[in-house]
Chains A and B, each alone.
Chain A
Amino acid sequence: GAGVSQSPSNKVTEKGKDVELRCDPISGHTALYWYRQSLGQGLEFLIYFQGNSAPDKSGLPSDRFSAERTGGSVSTLTIQRTQQEDSAVYLCASSLTGGSGANVLTFGAGSRLTVL
Chain B
Amino acid sequence: AQRVTQPEKLLSVFKGAPVELKCNYSYSGSPELFWYVQYSRQRLQLLLRHISRESIKGFTADLNKGETSFHLKKPFAQEEDSAMYYCALNGGSSNTGKLIFGQGTTLQVKP
Tell me the A residues contacting B by CB distance below 8 Å.
3, 31, 33, 35, 40-45, 48, 50, 55-56, 91, 93, 95, 97-98, 102-110
Contact = CB atoms under 8 A, between A and B. Distances in A.
A91 B99 contact: no
B101 A42 contact: yes
B interface, how many residues as a size bin? 20 to 34
Interface string B81-99: 0000010101010111111
Given A45-B98, A55-B96, 8 more contacts: A33-B99, A35-B101, A40-B103, A104-B49, A104-B97, A106-B45, A107-B45, A109-B43
Interface string B17-52: 000000000000000101010000001111001000
A105 B101 contact: no
A10 B4 CA distance: 29
A95 B101 contact: no
4 A-B pairs with the lowest CB-CB distances in the bound complex, closest first: A42-B103, A43-B101, A107-B44, A103-B97
Interface of B: 32, 34, 36, 43-46, 49, 86, 88, 90, 92, 94-104
Interface-central residue, B36, B95, B98, B100, by most chain A CB under 10 Å = B98
A103 B99 contact: yes
B96 A103 contact: yes
